[in-house]
Structure 1
Amino acid sequence: MTDITTGATAAAPTTPTAVGAIPPHALRRVIETALEEDAPWGDVTSEAFVPADATATATLAAREPGVLSGGAVFAAVMAAVDPGIVVTLERADGATFAAGDTLAIVSGAARSVLRAERVALNLVQRMSGIATVTARYVAAVADTRARIVDTRKTTPGLRALERHAVRCGGGHNHRTSLSDAVLAKDNHLAVLAARGVPIEEAIRAARERLGHTVHLEVEVDRIDQIEPVVGAGVDTIMLDNFTPDMLRAGVALVGGRALVEASGGVTLESVATIAATGVDIVSVGALTHSARALDLGLDVVVEPDVATAPRDR
């Protein structure tokens, strides 16, 4: 398999391995589930039409420009179907490409390549679409201090792959799961309010229960909530659906006592204005929940058969 950081090429291994920070077990689970879904009893079309001894060479081709993510995932799918397939990646994850560029070359048993084709394409197209849109957001805030981060609004079962794709586009990851960090949002606070528990009291009690390594973040949707939250000792305060003027005021009120995250309704058209208010983080659910799969294709290379090619007469 290709090392996604160096672009070095080798034959794909027999089992998927870690791709960047994608946990091996997560990658293996995704691939196994997807292949079982796509060909539970084999590929009846290829088995009916394609000779068992046929081989094929194919290119992973870009139909439009973008940022690559999932090249080694693509190779791992091929390896899971047939360890004899060789995938040569022509671009590393995070690299930009133009329409018409060859991103990878695949060679091996034709039936195996055809069986792996759709699953491999689905994953690399999805991941590259996320990386491409992330890169656009990152470029839009390049002149500010703000980091672009993802959210938990990911495709169920694909979070590890989609978060890797965000990193390939130059973005950063928020908490991976509910188990990673404390993030008290509006519904958590609504439960507390219904019980008459002041927000600052709840924050201090949570801090007492948490280990010193656990990050504590609280979401607010009004200016008057900022001081009680920051004063209680949070690490990050999330300003949800604040206008740019409100964000600037909020940043001033926090005064460097916590990280400030802007969230809610962020678009490519609004992200630069939001970032310019001085916030540290801009979280964007659209990186994963609305990213369009990039148009990539796997094209089998057809070479004339010298035995059957027309002869000059």
Structure 2
Amino acid sequence: MNFDLELTATLEKALAEDFGAVGDLTSNLLLEERQAGSATIVSKESGVVAGLEVCGAVFRAVDPNLEVEKVISDGTAATPGDHVLNVRGSARSILAAERTALNFLQRLSGIATLTARFVEQISGTRCKILDTRKTTPGLRLLEKYAVTVGGGHNHRFGLYDMILIKENHIRLGGGIEAAVARIRNSLSLEQRQIQIEVETTSLPEVKVALHAGADRIMLDNMTLAEMKVAVEVIDGRCEVEASGGVDLGSVREIAGTGVDYISVGAITHSARAFDFTLLFN
């Protein structure tokens, strides 16, 4: 997948949604076409900034003549009042791009900030925080990028880059062993090597998945006690991922069970927008 092409298409769609057929009525009727100005995007809270390149790309998509200057870089911890980006040029163009640029910046910074909080909670352990596919439709690449800015790691990007045998696959495929065997055989015939992960909900299923040769076993909604036993049973023979109902209050204890990864859907589907404002100088 071409990130630049994906980004261009996403920005074009977002701007078209805001502009409609006539553009910024208010600014076009109020301001002279040649009126210039300079503005600054300012942080209104504390957190991790992500999406400055995307934000700048929005301004340039609206008007290639706008001058955009990043004051800080993605991954920087901002505090209230910090300047993060400057833009100069046509006042009309700056105002036309403002909301869309801020929407991307607020969304991505919110994800990076929440991810960083989860990562901080498990500091000192060998465990890693993973995202999921629970992303905003059309924004997956950007949201998964924001996760990495916050110190997290990406799980699969889609249905195409990893095999994850979930509950319904197991039901429809004749059980864990049959599902793994059939997929392994198909991959062998096609001479492809793709990691196979199996979702399990009980210790007996963990043992079956391990015997079937899973590369990674997901422990879905298990208790801490069950996770500890599962890690002992697996004994390093494959990767172990914990998932389901993870929050900031429980993630440290889950990491303490010895799992390799903890997947957290909340870092994308429940991240609160980071508060920024754009002010003309």
Q: Which runs of 5+ in 2 are unaligned?
A: none
Match of 1:241 in 2: 221
In the alignment, structure 1 residue 95 sits paired with structure 2 residue 46: no
Find 1:201's aligned residue among 154, 178, 186.
178
Q: How much has 1:201 moved relative to structure 2? A: 2.3
Query: What is the alpha-carbon root mean square deviation over aligned residues?
Result: 1.1
In the alignment, structure 1 residue 180 sits paired with structure 2 residue 161: yes
User: Contact (CA 8 Å) 1:61, 1:298: kept in 2 or not?
Assistant: yes
Match of 2:144 in 1: 163
Q: How does 1:1-313 map to 2 (within 5 A)?
A: 23-40=3-20, 41-192=22-173, 197-210=174-187, 211-301=191-281
Instruction: Give the number of equivalent residue pairs.
Output: 277
Q: Which runs of 5+ in 1 are unaligned?
A: 1-20, 302-313
CA distance in 2, matches of 1:253, 1:93: 41
> After superposition, what is the alpha-carbon deviation per residue over 1:143-168, rounded to whole angstroms, capped at 9, x for unaligned?
21110010000000000110000000
> After superposition, what is the alpha-carbon deviation per residue over 1:254-285, rounded to whole angstroms, capped at 9, x for unaligned?
11111000000000111000011000000000
CA distance in 1, matches of 2:192, 2:230: 26
User: Contact (CA 8 Å) 2:170, 2:179: kept in 1 or not?
Assistant: no
User: Contact (CA 8 Å) 2:36, 2:88: kept in 1 or not?
Assistant: yes
Runs of 4+ in structure 1 displaced over 6 angstroms?
A: none
TM-score normalized by the length of structure 2: 0.97
| SS of the residue 1:84 aligns to | coil
TM-score normalized by the length of structure 1: 0.87
> After superposition, what is the alpha-carbon deviation per residue over 1:265-308, rounded to whole angstroms, capped at 9, x for unaligned?
0001110000110000000000000000000111111xxxxxxx
User: Contact (CA 8 Å) 1:22, 1:164: kept in 2 or not?
Assistant: no
Larger Cα Rg: Structure 1 or Structure 2?
Answer: 1
Q: How much has 1:204 moved relative to structure 2? A: 1.5
One-letter code of the match for 1:209?
A: S
- The structure that is helix-richer by fraction is 2
| SS of the residue 2:115 aligns to | helix
CA distance in 1, matches of 2:26, 2:2: 33
> After superposition, what is the alpha-carbon deviation per residue over 1:221-257, rounded to whole angstroms, capped at 9, x for unaligned?
0111111111111110000001111110000011111
Q: How much has 1:213 moved relative to structure 2? A: 2.3
CA distance in 2, matches of 1:43, 1:198: 57
User: Contact (CA 8 Å) 2:169, 2:179: kept in 1 or not?
Assistant: no
CA distance in 2, matches of 1:156, 1:149: 19
CA distance in 2, matches of 1:91, 1:255: 44
CA distance in 2, matches of 1:209, 1:129: 41
